Structure formats: structure tokens, C-alpha cells
């Protein structure tokens, strides 16, 4: 199969977001057959971007799912030059074929010399046996064949990471995908339109494409402007224990693989590992980070260096913003909630308590019903597993609702004593889309705890049940 690269100077396949790609508001279970962006979500879709040097993107239609007859469902992200790469993967024991393959690629290459990521939506290629592994391998090798093979062959391993998302337990229409990969390669471009099209192509039940970009500088090279871009997908089966669903980060900063992996792990633990829609962890969760160094400057050889600390802050903040778009698009969600646990004895304790509250069905349904039932929050704190001794002292624990408009917090429990709650004000706070639940542990048993952690989640609605009751149909 021959591939000849023709980099586009402008998108030749993209339809404007207000045009044919997004017309009607429905959720679908692969790239939508009649996609639209709800009015309330359009503010989260960027109209422009600043993308890292030498990275290119494309999104094309394949028809992975038969019901999708025209919309993009195959994305290709590639670098003109080899990249350092790192990734985090699902801890679900039924790991999808592309997870297994991508892990092998990184191990065999020691995180260096990666050129591309190929992603299909519409079929997860999970629990598909040896045939599924063969399909994932074929996707990677077909992309590899589009590049100069001298460096790739020398490493003896594929230079392409593979991701899939969609229904579990079904085989890919692999012939259709493989024949389309040269078209995806030829369509590669650096334009915002094509980055957005790639972000759209990886969507499943998402109602909007999730794409961010930003620029930054580093202490050692103040005159160089670096760029960081990322995309993710997901709206359900979200309670990650590594990364999330699918996500990709790209930068033109010079970061070797041995620095990139701990940097990514730190950022993910405070972002993609701190979100929850429904408490389920997917078989396909993967977050990959590629750095090609195309902008120049001194390599960042340690996360503990001045540059390392600076970029850790940049990437952590960026991944928090990107991961929160998933919660903004949670299946059936009407609320975007941050639970912040402060004055804890340790960061792990704070994080476990925040996660337990975030995945509580009773807390989530109360929020949907606009019911200030803070007893459910206390209940979740009390049954949190794996806490250190004296982590929770009821007589020191306080809970408040913090409105998004910046007005004073509504105190619900103060040092173990219930407050007389203004139900009218509570109702007004819960009418808003955004809310913070603040849990103050009072320093724990010793009183000296100062650690804190946050988790972001959404509510449970009738629509969530409807969406997931007919997922395959």
C-alpha cells in the first residue's frame, strides 16, 4: 500500500462547525450520523489554536460503524520528525488490543522514535482475541509504511501508537480502515480546522470535540515560544485509574522520554485521574504524550530542574483543563462539580475522600434533583476505604457549598455540627451549572494536616440511563 504525503496548506475537507458537521443535537455511539454541538457547549469549542511545530493532524470518514455514512471517524496525528513519547494506560484487566500494542511499541522503543498516533472511533477493538491484536498491529504498520522507514526499521519496532474507542467485543472493519490510512496521511495538515476535525473523529457519545492549545516559555530559553496541544474524548464510562478514555498531548519542547514519563504521571494524577462521570473504568483508556523538540532549546533532563518544574506546572494545569471538558460533556449531565478536600493528613487521603464523594450515586442524584442533601456527602466521607489512621475526625469535619459566582459559601456542617441551612439559597446555588463542594477535615486527628486534593464530576440524570440503556442500538 503506497502513501505519498501531500501536506495541505488549508483544509480541503473541513466543513465549518456551524455547517454540515454539526446540525442536530443528539448523542450517537460512534462519530455522529447527524452531529451538532448544543448551544450551551459551543463555548468550549475553540475557533483558533496555536499548535506545536512540525505536528500535523487529519480526520477522515471511514464508516467504522455502518450507520456513519459521512462523518469523520479516523484520526491521524503525526510529526515530521521522530518524537519522545510516554503514555499511561487503563488498569482494567480486560485491556483492549490497541492498549497492548501501544504499550509494546513504547517498551521496545524505550519511548523514543515515535512518529504518529492513529485512532478510530466506532469500535473499541476490545476483547477481540488474537484477531484484534493483529488488526491493531496492521493499523500501526500501515501508518509506518507512509514514513521513511530507515529509522523505524533500525529500531525493529513500529513507530505508531494505536487507539480505538467504541463498542466492546466487536471486530474492526479492518480492510476498510487500512485502505483509508493513506488518505488520512495525505490529508495531514497543520491548520486549526484539521486539528479540530481530528478531535471530532475520535468522538463517540461526545456532543462536542475536545481540543485545547496554548503557548509557554521555559526559564532556560525565555526567547523561545513553545506550544502544547491536546485532545480528548469521552462522556461516559469515566472513572479512570491511569489516564482517561482517550487523550493525546503534543509539544514542540525538547523533553526526553525519561523525563516525559514522570512528568505525565504527575499531571495525570491531578487531572485525568481526578475526574468521574459514572464510576466505570474503560478497557481502552490511554493517554499519550509526544514531544518532538522542534522549537529548539535545552533538553529538559529532569522534572526536578528549573525547566522541569516549570513545564510540570504548565502540563498539569493544561491536563486539568482538558480533562474537565470530559465532565462538561458527561452523558446526561446538568452539573459540573468540583469537590475539594482540604486540611487532610495526606494527599492520598484527600484524594480518596474526594473520589468517593465524586462517584457516589446518591450524591450525584441529589445534585441532579437540586437537593442540598449534605448527609449523603458525609456518608461518602465516612465509608471511604484505605485511609490512614485518624484521617477523618467527625468533630473536626466541615462541609460547605461554594457558589460559582464568588458569593459567600453556604455552610452545611461546621466541625461536626449541622448548620441551619437556608434552603432557598441552597436551591438557588444548585440551580447553577457549576458548583464546588468544600470538605475541610480540620487537619485530621493530629490537627496538623495541610494537604488537599480535588476531583471533578457531574450529576446523574434520567438521560444518562436512557443513553446507556440503548448504547448498542
- Residues assigned a catalytic role: 244
Nine cell digits for residue 25: 443535537
b vs e for 303-316, b when ≥16 Cβ sit within 10 Å of the residue's Cβ? bebebbebbbebbb
Kindly give the interhelix angle for 129-144 and 97-109, rounded to the nearest 10 degrees. Answer: 50
**Residues near 470 by beta carbon (within 8 Å), at least 6 away in sequence:** none
**Residues near 424 by beta carbon (within 8 Å), at least 6 away in sequence:** none
Of 324, 234, 321, the residue nearest 286 (C-alpha)? 234
**Residues near 223 by beta carbon (within 8 Å), at least 6 away in sequence:** none
Question: Alpha carbon of 221 to those of 304, 317, 378, 424: distances in Å?
Answer: 17, 20, 49, 54
Nine cell digits for residue 197: 476535525
**Residues near 45 by beta carbon (within 8 Å), at least 6 away in sequence:** 17, 37, 196, 208, 209, 211
Q: How many CB atoms lie within 10 A of CB 163?
A: 32
Residue 123: beta bridge partners?
165, 167
Radius of gyration for the alpha carbons in the chain, expressed in angstroms and rounded = 23
Amino acid at each position: 500500500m503506497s502513501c505519498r504525503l501531500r501536506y495541505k496548506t488549508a483544509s480541503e475537507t473541513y466543513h465549518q462547525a456551524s455547517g454540515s458537521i454539526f446540525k442536530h443535537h443528539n448523542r450517537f455511539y460512534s462519530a455522529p450520523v447527524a452531529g451538532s454541538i448544543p448551544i450551551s457547549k459551543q463555548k468550549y469549542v475553540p475557533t483558533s489554536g496555536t499548535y506545536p511545530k512540525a505536528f500535523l493532524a487529519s480526520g477522515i470518514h471511514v464508516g467504522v460503524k455502518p450507520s456513519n455514512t459521512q462523518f469523520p471517524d479516523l484520526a491521524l496525528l503525526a510529526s515530521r520528525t521522530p518524537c519522545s513519547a510516554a503514555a499511561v494506560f487503563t488498569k482494567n484487566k480486560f485491556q483492549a488490543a490497541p492498549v497492548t500494542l501501544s504499550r509494546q511499541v513504547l517498551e521496545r522503543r524505550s519511548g523514543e522514535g515515535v512518529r504518529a498516533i492513529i485512532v478510530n472511533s466506532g469500535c473499541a477493538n476490545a476483547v477481540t482475541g488474537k484477531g484484534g491484536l493483529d488488526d491493531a498491529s496492521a493499523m500501526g504498520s500501515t501508518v509506518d509504511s507512509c514514513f521513511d522507514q530507515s529509522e523505524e526499521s533500525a529500531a525493529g519496532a513500529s513507530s505508531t501508537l494505536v487507539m480505538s474507542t467504541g463498542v466492546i467485543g466487536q471486530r474492526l472493519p479492518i480492510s476498510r480502515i487500512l485502505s483509508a490510512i493513506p488518505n488520512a496521511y495525505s490529508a495531514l495538515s497543520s491548520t486549526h480546522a484539521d486539528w479540530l476535525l481530528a478531535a471530532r473523529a475520535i468522538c463517540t457519545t461526545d456532543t462536542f470535540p475536545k481540543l485545547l492549545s496554548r503557548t509557554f516559555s521555559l526559564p532556560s530559553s525565555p526567547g523561545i515560544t513553545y506550544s502544547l496541544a491536546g485532545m480528548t474524548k469521552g462522556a461516559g464510562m469515566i472513572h479512570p485509574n491511569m489516564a482517561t478514555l482517550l487523550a493525546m498531548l503534543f509539544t514542540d519542547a525538547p523533553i526526553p522520554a525519561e523525563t516525559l514519563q514522570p512528568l505525565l504521571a504527575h499531571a495525570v494524577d491531578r487531572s485525568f485521574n481526578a475526574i468521574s462521570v459514572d464510576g466505570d473504568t474503560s478497557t481502552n483508556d490511554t493517554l499519550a504524550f509526544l514531544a518532538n523538540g522542534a522549537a529548539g532549546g535545552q533538553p529538559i533532563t529532569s522534572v526536578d530542574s528549573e525547566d522541569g518544574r516549570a513545564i510540570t506546572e504548565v502540563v498539569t494545569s493544561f491536563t486539568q483543563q482538558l480533562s474537565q471538558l470530559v465532565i462538561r460533556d458527561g452523558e446526561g449531565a446538568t452539573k459540573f462539580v468540583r469537590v475539594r478536600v482540604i486540611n487532610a493528613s495526606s494527599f492520598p487521603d484527600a484524594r480518596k475522600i474526594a473520589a468517593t464523594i465524586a462517584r457516589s450515586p446518591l450524591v450525584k442524584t441529589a445534585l441532579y434533583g437540586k437537593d442540598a442533601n449534605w448527609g449523603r456527602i458525609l456518608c461518602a466521607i465516612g465509608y471511604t476505604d484505605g485511609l490512614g489512621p485518624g484521617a477523618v475526625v467527625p468533630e473536626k469535619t466541615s462541609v460547605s457549598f461554594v457558589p460559582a459566582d464568588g458569593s459567600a459559601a453556604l455552610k452545611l456542617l461546621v466541625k461536626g455540627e449541622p448548620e441551619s441551612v437556608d434552603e432557598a439559597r441552597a436551591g438557588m446555588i444548585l440551580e447553577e451549572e457549576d458548583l464546588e463542594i468544600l470538605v475541610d477535615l480540620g487537619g485530621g486527628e493530629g490537627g496538623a494536616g495541610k494537604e488537599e486534593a480535588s476531583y471533578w464530576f457531574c450529576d446523574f440524570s434520567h438521560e444518562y440511563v436512557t443513553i446507556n440503556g440503548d448504547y448498542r442500538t
